[in-house]
Structure 1
């Protein structure tokens, strides 16, 4: 093999590596961009006032309020749902969070009737708002990684929605 053909071959390899790296970076960038569109509250910020903690959440393009948070110290993705009576956790996620399934309950969902199981969340967090001993349901038929943040948690907070922003406020008693 001549020096010239070896040089061309090395040039082609470098060109392929360059384009491969470019595609990898573009995929990473657009994946993050898409996730930020779906969950604009990946790192929710909190503000403190006299006797309260407040978290402001931006709505996503579909009008949903999504937020990264934590259940028992493990990061989860919440979708706030004032129409849900309880916090609802998909069964697979509940297993990884080590939530115990208790008594069965019949659930009436948009997809019809199903069975869920009562459980208790020791600690639920959004921003610096922390709730303890929150009633929840493990839902076997629920797919995905999103936890519905229902009224069993939200009733412990004040919340208002205006201009695409949802404000959650926790009153702190001294």
Structure 2
């Protein structure tokens, strides 16, 4: 093997490494864009009304849903607003991370069929500058997503209105 051949092989290895690094950087860059398309509300717009009430403005995501970062018992979570859900519905794997305990299993009808859920209570739920206390919820072992359905047990405690592709939530 000549010196030219080994130099050529080393050059090819560096070209492959450069391509792999370029692809990794592109994936990193575009993942951020995809994340923002799924959840444009990682830092939702917050304001106070003239009467001093907390208000949060959410933007619709690319699929037409309202997804937003918030917190349960001061631990960060991602909410998917769902006016069709009766209660705050927490996937079991997230409830476990939050230290929530379920009791009294009962059947509910979901978009994916009938499932057994477990009653729980959320001491504090925050979405932007809106804070709710003692929100009825259930733990759903059948949910595999990483989003918590923000159902009517929470939403009935705020005023909300949609204008265009924005949803404005205001404390009552």
State TM-score, norm by structure 1: 0.90
Aligned residue number for residue 8 of structure 1: 8
In the alignment, the residues of structure 2 paired with residue 71 and residue 62 of structure 1 have an alpha-carbon distance, to the nearest angstrom, of 25
In the alignment, the residues of structure 2 paired with residue 12 and residue 43 of structure 1 have an alpha-carbon distance, to the nearest angstrom, of 44
Cα shift readout 1:60-80 (whole Å, capped 9, x = no counterpart): 122111111111122211110
How much is the aligned-residue C-alpha RMSD, in angstroms? Answer: 1.6
Tell me the CA shift for residue 55 of structure 1.
0.8
Tell me the CA shift for residue 111 of structure 1.
2.4
In the alignment, the residues of structure 2 paired with residue 43 and residue 17 of structure 1 have an alpha-carbon distance, to the nearest angstrom, of 36
User: Does 2:151 correspond to 1:125?
Assistant: no
Structure 2 runs not aligned, ≥5 long: none
Matches within 5 A, 1:59-98: 59-98=60-99
Partner SS state of residue 103, structure 1: strand
Cα shift readout 1:32-86 (whole Å, capped 9, x = no counterpart): 2222111111221211233111111111122111111111122211110111111
User: Does 2:103 correspond to 1:136?
Assistant: no
How many residues are treated as equivalent by the alignment? 171
Tell me the CA shift for residue 140 of structure 1.
1.1
Matches within 5 A, 1:21-170: 21-50=21-50, 51-170=52-171
State TM-score, norm by structure 2: 0.91
Runs of 4+ in 1 over 4 A off after TM superposition: none
Partner SS state of residue 23, structure 1: helix
